[in-house]
């Protein structure tokens, strides 16, 4: 997640040499990510898996639901991925100029990132992206050295795979929905349709024991057993923590199907695009025509596609609508991510001393810390060991929570960066990468 121009042990680049627009884009992306992830922290996975518009919660919640779906979902992890790829190219250039080994330094960074991801999954949340970044990032050990032309070809080929896998995932999803619906309908002696009763919750001494029995009894035609949702509500609201860990591991394993089918085939092309933008001087050239082109392309084409995809999601139990949603999301996500990035770069360069941009940029400098702090704070609000709000909030309430959590983290980042060179997790990441403690205080450098 770092896009510093120098990752040498002696320290980051000088303040004057940083690209403020990149930092602001990363800080802005943290807000969009939190808008998307808040629902996953606060609601049972099963409800989100088959989510529909929250009509019963009123117009305000429906507006938030629509806003998140159109402008946030599937747009900010591509933006993070583009920035990650940009950072890769910067690291490659830095190590090449200093005569150090790019491969070993980058590989160690990925190993440490994977460690963060595993800890994140086990201790806090199943929706982690860091482990996926570490895994997909290994492909960039070869592609990081490639020319912009080769990177663009690689991005095009891999992204084409994502569109194909999207269609396959849509077909599987609708097939599962059809089979599940068929099993929910039975006929009485007179041939009248009657609704079948749900399977009862198995007996067990603990929620985890019940979860094990539900998994053993899981019908292959069902995409997600509703009994898991009931158990998730119980475990998240009552604990204990060990049960919550096992639940997270199960939900992460379940999510891997989507990660491996869809997400990795979007992340890798975005890594390549980010590297291309760095190698071609996109970030440092205010006169680049591609900025205005990407803004137009994103908002004139990507936004309407996103609106259509969000509408199609409500009817995704039918193949045509499911395919529209999957394809639309995959196409609109990177387009809008590039439009967001280009817009931020243009605005920051026109108003370089804007206090909002400066504050968000400070958070962007510690993107890994900000991402993990979001998980820590949301878990504290929703989990049994905190305020136990899991399953009790509405979409409009969560929007308020998102804004408050983001502002708290923004304040922390600006206070922290007054005295320190890196965020706390960035410092740990750097220290473990180089196998020696790095100076963290600004005064340490002055000495």
Which distant-in-sequence residues (6+ apart) come within 8 Å of 296 by Cβ? Answer: none
* Predicted pLDDT at 179: 46
- Does residue 351 sit within a domain? yes
What is the tally of structural domains in the chain? 1
- Does residue 107 sit within a domain? yes
Please determine, for residue 419, whether its predicted confidence score (pLDDT) is greater than 50: yes
Strand partners, 194: 186
* Predicted pLDDT at 287: 83
Most confident among 12-26, 106-120, 196-210 (mean pLDDT): 106-120
Q: How confident is the model at residue 6 (pLDDT cuts 50, 70, 90)?
A: very low
pLDDT tens, residue by residue, 85-103 = 998 888 877 777 776 777 7
* Predicted pLDDT at 177: 53
Strand partners, 420: 441
- Does residue 74 sit within a domain? yes
Q: Which two tokens stand for residue 396?
A: 């409009």
44 within 8 A of 251, measured Cβ to Cβ: no
* Predicted pLDDT at 196: 47
- Give the integer Cα–Cα distance in Å for 130 and 112: 10
Q: Average pLDDT over the chain, rounded to whole?
A: 86
Strand partners, 441: 420
Q: Which two tokens stand for residue 57?
A: 């919660």
pLDDT tens, residue by residue, 171-192 = 877 765 544 444 444 444 455 5
Helix (H) or strand (E) holding 82: helix 76-98
327 within 8 A of 166, measured Cβ to Cβ: yes
Which distant-in-sequence residues (6+ apart) come within 8 Å of 445 by Cβ? Answer: 11, 421, 439
Helix (H) or strand (E) holding 195: strand 193-195
Helix (H) or strand (E) holding 121: helix 102-123
Its domain, for residue 163, covers 15-446
- Does residue 332 sit within a domain? yes
Nearest C-alpha neighbor of 118 from the set 129, 103, 109: 129
* Predicted pLDDT at 168: 87
- Does residue 10 sit within a domain? no
- Give the integer Cα–Cα distance in Å for 312 and 344: 29
Mean predicted confidence (pLDDT) in 216-231: 75
- Give the integer Cα–Cα distance in Å for 87 and 107: 14
- Does residue 406 sit within a domain? yes
- DSSP-based three-state secondary structure for 144: coil
Cα first-last separation, the chain: 29
| Cα–Cα separations (whole angstroms), residue 203 to 209, 212, 222, 240 | 8, 11, 21, 19
* Predicted pLDDT at 446: 46
Least reliable range by pLDDT among 71-75, 235-239, 245-249: 235-239
- Does residue 330 sit within a domain? yes
Helix (H) or strand (E) holding 31: helix 20-42
440 within 8 A of 427, measured Cβ to Cβ: yes
333 within 8 A of 78, measured Cβ to Cβ: yes
- Give the integer Cα–Cα distance in Å for 65 and 51: 10
* Predicted pLDDT at 222: 63
pTM: 0.89
- Does residue 9 sit within a domain? no
């Amino acid at each position: 997640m770092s896009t510093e121009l120098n990752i040498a042990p002696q320290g980051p680049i000088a303040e004057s040499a940083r690209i403020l627009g990149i930092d602001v884009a990363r800080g802005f992306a943290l807000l969009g990510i939190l808008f998307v992830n808040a629902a996953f922290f606060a609601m049972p996975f099963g409800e989100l898996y088959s989510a529909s518009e929250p009509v019963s919660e009123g117009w305000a919640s429906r507006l938030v639901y629509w806003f998140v779906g159109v402008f946030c979902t599937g747009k900010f992890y591509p933006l993070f991925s583009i920035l990650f790829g940009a950072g890769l190219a910067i690291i490659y250039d830095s190590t090449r100029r200093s005569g150090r080994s790019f491969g070993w330094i980058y590989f160690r960074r990925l190993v440490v990132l994977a460690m963060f991801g595993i800890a994140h999954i086990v201790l806090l949340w199943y929706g982690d992206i860091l482990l996926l970044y570490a895994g997909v990032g290994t492909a960039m050990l070869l592609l990081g050295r490639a020319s912009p032309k080769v990177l663009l070809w690689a991005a095009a080929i891999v992204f084409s795979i994502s569109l194909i896998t999207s269609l396959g995932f849509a077909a599987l999803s609708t097939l599962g929905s059809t089979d599940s619906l068929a099993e929910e309908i039975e006929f009485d002696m007179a041939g009248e349709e009657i609704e079948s009763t749900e399977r009862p919750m198995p007996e067990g001494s603990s929620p985890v024991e019940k979860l094990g029995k539900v998994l053993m009894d899981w019908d292959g035609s069902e995409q997600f057993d509703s009994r898991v949702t009931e158990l998730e509500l119980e475990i998240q609201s009552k604990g204990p923590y060990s049960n919550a860990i096992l639940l997270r591991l199960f939900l992460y394993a379940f999510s891997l199907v989507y990660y491996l089918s869809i997400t990795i085939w979007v992340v890798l092309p975005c890594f390549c695009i980010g590297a291309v933008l760095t190698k071609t001087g996109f970030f440092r050239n205010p006169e680049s025509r591609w900025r205005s082109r990407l803004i137009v392309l994103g908002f004139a084409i990507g936004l309407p596609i996103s609106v259509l995809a969000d509408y199609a999601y409500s009817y995704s139990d039918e193949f045509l609508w499911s395919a529209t949603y999957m394809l639309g999301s995959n196409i609109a996500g990177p387009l809008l991510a590039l439009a967001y990035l280009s817009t931020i770069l243009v605005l920051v360069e026109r108003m370089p001393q804007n206090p909002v941009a400066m504050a968000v940029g400070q958070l962007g400098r510690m993107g890994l810390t900000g991402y993990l702090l979001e998980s820590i704070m949301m878990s504290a609000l929703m989990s049994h060991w905190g305020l136990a709000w899991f399953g009790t909030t509405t979409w409009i309430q969560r929007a308020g929570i998102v804004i408050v959590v983001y502002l708290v983290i923004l304040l922390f980042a600006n206070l922290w960066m007054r005295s320190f060179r890196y965020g706390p997790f960035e410092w740990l990441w750097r220290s473990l990468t180089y196998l020696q403690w790095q100076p963290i205080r600004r005064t340490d450098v002055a000495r």
